Structure 1
Amino acid sequence: MLLGKAEAIGLHALPGAENEVWVSEAVATAEIEGEKLNLDAVRSSVARRLGLENPPPGPVSRHVEGLLDAMADASRHWSEPLTRARLFSWQAALFPTGYSTIRQIKVGAFRDDYIAVMSGPEGRETVHYEAPPAERVEKEVDVFLAWFNTSSADANTPHSDGLVRAGIAHLWFETLHPFEDGNGRVGRAIIDMALAQDIRQATRLFGISRRMATARDEYYRELERAQKGDLDITEWLCWFISQFRFACEESARILDRSLEKAKFWTTHAGISLTDAQRKAVNVLLDAGPQGFDGGMSTRKYCSLTKVSPATASRDLGTLAKLGVFVVSGKGKSTRYWINMPDWAPSE
């Protein structure tokens, strides 16, 4: 369904949808691990990578670039074998300084010490899972890689359903926990690669990390349950598939929004906007129909674009005169909305 919708909206709108999904996936996979990325840095880098016109400005972050490099390699080079070297490069890209927060870690190589998944305050941690001993990691990873590289649709051997295979691959890798840090992000990149292999294309439309971030506690609980049980992982796969369905539903909404945005900018192709005006319009478009709580006000415009109240009032008035915005309320209650059917609340 999702791929059919992507084909239906056409190439002109697809990059915008892919941009939105990729940005949200990068932010989400880091957020799951408790890391907050600079959103402007992510948006700017993703737009450049997709070759979008007028990419938004943003700071350059080595951590953001490294994460996006790993994600891009996983999905764009899906036809290439997954190897130790690729896993090393992805994990090293996540930690360009060799540090995880203030702790120096081993990067670009397997761990050489005990590791466990724990939570709780220091000294009173709860151990959720203990990974295999370090001396077994290399052999266990090689077994995993051999399976992964011979179980895809491209391999000349019987293969499982692509979604089931992605769920198995993620659980297997997380169970091995081969790195000192970065296992979750690398494991979710493996999901991306498995899904790209299944559909045989690099288009990033499946927002699985975004969904897992939303259901983070449940995600960890289901992983722990599968890792501590017997070899029956049916419950994990059922959960994984259900989350993938939710992710596809959200991606379908993003595709619909991208098509509406493309139509909007086609309608207003002849107008000239300042950077501040364009930023405000895009924020409302990104929020979707009635998604920007309370509409755009002069105060919100000032906060968003860093212009003076006088400039904000003038800019908003101009956007309304151009037919880009519609207006509701009066005086201090004046609000501005995208001028598209059902995007503004009914009076």
Structure 2
Amino acid sequence: MNNNDFSHHLLSWYQDHKRQMPWRGEADPYKIWVSEIMLQQTRVDQATPYFQNFISLFPTVFDLANAEQQEVLKAWEGLGYYSRARNLHSAAKTLVQDYNGKLPESYDEIIKLKGIGPYTAAAVTSIAFNKPNAVVDGNVIRVLTRYFGVEEDVRSTKTKNRVQDFATELIDEDNPADFNQAMMELGSVVCKPTNPECYKCPIQSGCVAAKTAKTDTIPYKSPAKKKPHHTIGVGIIEAEDGKLLIALRPEDAMLGGLWEFPGGKQKEGEEIQETVERELAEELGVEVKAYKELMRLKHTYSHFSITMHAWMCKLVSGKPQPKSSQEIRWVERNELERYPFPKANKVLTERLMGKGQGELGI
């Protein structure tokens, strides 16, 4: 199958089988950009309601640039990888300030924006401006390693570069927007990681993995390193008037700009109750008594997992100071939903407001 046949079969299949998505067929480069940022490491079905809500809140790049970061993070709450939201907000300000609110059409120019790497630059410039820049994501890697019979480790830079070369060679220069979307769509709905539906594939006749029955071994990905697990103790300090203390995470830290209940990692040989009391002393400069475990929950991040133990605490002495955070604030329980929290803390806030369920501790 030559390159023209590959493109023809792929695009014909795409026209008949493409899924409906709120950003598909969109002409506004801003909305295309937002969708691509959201789709990084996020499934289409998960991103869809977030995209619709985000665009309703910030319909233009000017609205996004003028918004407070807390508003942006609140709209992103639960979607994860919050640096995407902070970078999106920062880039919107740059666009308004330096580009009159318009996304640059050039790959070399758009990739300068915060949060835009090679994949997003290729996706936005091809879909929004019909530039022949080939995208390579996990779906495209799977399609092309199977099609060309590439058995080397896809974690290696050499293999990724090889796949990028294949994609660049194959892209339909007359219709790069649909070609890129078709490649990703094919990998998502037909050329799936397990049990690919090869009989539905428009390019099956040229696929080496299909011909040699190697779709279960291609692509090859070397085993990932085992993720570390941390036990975390957090303290919920309740004042006499019932208000709770929350802290704003440092801007440059993981989950920066989000609120949390202060706490940290358990040390070896330390009881979790001691962890909570020590962490609050270090972070707030106060002495507290952790007197009851409210709940515990497990959460997995991209590079590690946690079991979080949340304890109710009473202030024994000292006035809380934001030693490890940007700001601290006393809030009513019913006000917690106004603030953007990381997902693990969000479960806790819902429990505190009487809305959520969780595994009880003691």
User: Could you state the TM-score of these two structures normalised by the residue count of structure 2?
Assistant: 0.22
Structure with more helix by fraction: 1
User: Could you state the TM-score of these two structures normalised by the residue count of structure 1?
Assistant: 0.23
Bigger CA radius of gyration: 2
